[in-house]
Amino acid sequence: MHYEQIKVELLAFLTPEQVSDNDIIRAQHGQDESYHVPALPDLVVFPRSTQEVSDILKIANTYEVPVIPFGRGSSLEGHIIPYNGGISIDFNEMNAILAIEPENLLVKVQPGVTRSQLNQALKKHGLFFSVDPGADASLGGMAATNASGTTAVRYGVMRDQVRDLEVVLANGDIIHTGNSAAKSSSGLHLNGLFVGSEGILGCITELTLRVYGIPEHEVAGRAVFSSTNIAVQAVTAIKHAGIPIGRVELVDPASIRMVNQYSETDYPEQPTLFLEFHGNEAGLQQDIEFATEILQDFGCSHIQFESDTAARNQLWNARHNLAYAFIHANPGKKLMSTDVCVPINELANAIEFARKELEVSGLIGGLTGHVGDGNFHALIMIDLNHADEVTRAKQYNKKIVEYALSIGGTCTGEHGVGVGKMEYQQQEHGNALAAMKAIKHALDPKNILNPYKLI
């Protein structure tokens, strides 16, 4: 291939430390945190400016070789694996927080900044960034996959936080997808399109993001139910009553059992809701009284609220330790997670279906859900060397996805498509998939940007 020549051309404007074909470096950029099979890039580059990214893309476009933007490698569907080789663009040297604007409730950051790095810097301004996908992902990567997590029910997903992106297109053009105003009806809305585009339309080189004032008061709660179905109904009732929920997570008995083993605790091994409410003191008090009434109306057998920070963390312990508990109990196995999102009124049935099918599959796993949004995960531990187990896990995933699609849901609520959910795109999007492909072709006619991903 042309990579020797490409390397020479890259070294005309990058330092030797910024261009690597070292095997270890390539291997580090050949896998994410998922069960998907690794593959190596031909080169890894570490740009330090938007202009360098633009120049890299111009070369890649000339030679028609793949480019794969890389943040922290914490994706869960193989998004950053270079199955067709090419140049992995590692954004970790573009990790500056460029501006914090408290008056505008905005920040401007480079794509390599991680969410914990940003929150650390925001704390002294009394501000926080809301999206929490679990992993300490890069903000560029979180925008590329439209990440979300436990706080989406209150603050929205990554797409809701993005005011503007600086993006380098396949031809090296540098564009802005939005602006710093709170709203705009000007031009086509490229912000929404580029968030979640998984690197197939361009490389994100700067983000302008919304941030929020740290809530005056927070209260955490845990409520235990006799059935998953009733727990989900209780959440729906709280939402419908207009009580603003900060977070609400469902954890199933199998997962609580795993946590009890891991943490040597004795939480009741029953369907459990973990809740959080944010607001002013008086309002919170009234919200919690009202929520407690509703939870009790639905036959909640145990209920506890805590407002002190340490007690809150203790209360949420079982939810926080969930993935670790599964990984710890299953050495040598890899975590596979389903990720469907369904209309709220279908959620209880969808979770019940997933629970039954998990039993049928014989796989080790548990269910947890961002139930305020209708998004839930089956966490499954699989041995990648055990072909039958992998096959059963994939079949299980497929059943869950097809069930979700049959009731107006989506194959992925927050992890994205990558390579893992490509097979469901036609089924989910129908004729719209052709429109998506037309847009991809219009913006990247040589198909160099993270090719053969997403669509």
Q: Is 51 in the site for its own copies (CB under 8 A)?
A: no
- Nearer to its own copies among residue 17 and residue 289 (C-beta): 289
- Nearer to its own copies among residue 195 and residue 381 (C-beta): 195
Least separation in angstroms between residue 451's CB and its own copies is 15
Helical (H) or strand (E) element with 268: none
E-strand stretches of 243-282: 247-251, 272-279
Helical (H) or strand (E) element with 119: helix 115-123
- Nearer to its own copies among residue 41 and residue 451 (C-beta): 451
Least separation in angstroms between residue 89's CB and its own copies is 20
Q: How many of the chain's residues bind its own copies (CB under 8 A)? A: 100
- Nearer to its own copies among residue 239 and residue 399 (C-beta): 239
CA–CA separation, 276 and 305 (whole Å): 9
The answer to whether the CB of 374 falls within 8 A of the CB of 347 is: yes
Residue from 68, 107, 131, 190 binding its own copies (CB under 8 A): 190
The answer to whether the CB of 46 falls within 8 A of the CB of 93 is: yes
User: Biggest alpha carbon distance in the chain?
Assistant: 70
CA angle, 425 as apex, 416 and 412 as ends, to 5°? Answer: 30
Residue from 15, 16, 17, 183 binding its own copies (CB under 8 A): 183
Q: Is 299 in the site for its own copies (CB under 8 A)?
A: no
Least separation in angstroms between residue 425's CB and its own copies is 6
Query: For residue 385, how many C-alpha atoms fall within 13 Å in the half-sphere facing its CB?
Result: 2
Q: Is 49 in the site for its own copies (CB under 8 A)?
A: no
Question: According to CB under 8 A, which residues from 75 to 104 bind its own copies?
Answer: 101-104
Phi-psi region of 368 (alpha: psi -120 to 50; beta: other; left: phi over 0): beta
- Nearer to its own copies among residue 14 and residue 68 (C-beta): 68
- Nearer to its own copies among residue 13 and residue 290 (C-beta): 290
Non-local CB neighbours of 402 within 8 Å, separated by 6+ positions: 427
Q: Is 187 in the site for its own copies (CB under 8 A)?
A: yes
Least separation in angstroms between residue 345's CB and its own copies is 4
Least separation in angstroms between residue 353's CB and its own copies is 16
Residue from 51, 179, 292, 330 binding its own copies (CB under 8 A): 179
Cα R_g (the chain), whole angstroms: 22
Question: According to CB under 8 A, which residues from 337 to 376 bind its own copies?
Answer: 341-345, 372-375
CA–CA separation, 348 and 301 (whole Å): 19
CA–CA separation, 187 and 165 (whole Å): 15
Least separation in angstroms between residue 341's CB and its own copies is 4
Chain-centre distance of CA 448, in angstroms? 24
Site string for its own copies, 150-169 (x = CB under 8 A): --x----x-xx--------x
Site string for its own copies, 246-285 (x = CB under 8 A): ---------------------------------xxxxxxx
CA–CA separation, 89 and 59 (whole Å): 13
Query: For residue 366, how many C-alpha atoms fall within 13 Å in the half-sphere facing its CB?
Result: 27
Tokens matching residue 242: 């207009």
Least separation in angstroms between residue 69's CB and its own copies is 16
- Nearer to its own copies among residue 146 and residue 255 (C-beta): 146
Residue from 84, 92, 180, 447 binding its own copies (CB under 8 A): 180
- Nearer to its own copies among residue 23 and residue 293 (C-beta): 293
- Considering only CA atoms, which of 128, 264, 144 is closest in space to residue 194? 144
CA–CA separation, 102 and 127 (whole Å): 8
Question: According to CB under 8 A, which residues from 415 to 454 bind its own copies?
Answer: 415-417, 421, 424-425, 428-436, 438-443, 454
The answer to whether the CB of 19 falls within 8 A of the CB of 10 is: yes
Give the Å distances, CA to CA, from 290 to 155, 237, 308, 311, 372: 21, 11, 20, 22, 17
Residue from 34, 61, 114, 148 binding its own copies (CB under 8 A): 148
Residue from 39, 97, 193, 327 binding its own copies (CB under 8 A): 193
- Where does this chain touch its own copies (CB under 8 A) — which range of 235-243, 299-307, 329-337, 359-367? 235-243
Phi-psi region of 362 (alpha: psi -120 to 50; beta: other; left: phi over 0): left
Residue from 27, 98, 175, 360 binding its own copies (CB under 8 A): 175
Q: Is 186 in the site for its own copies (CB under 8 A)?
A: yes
- Nearer to its own copies among residue 29 and residue 278 (C-beta): 278
**DSSP conformational letter for 422:** G
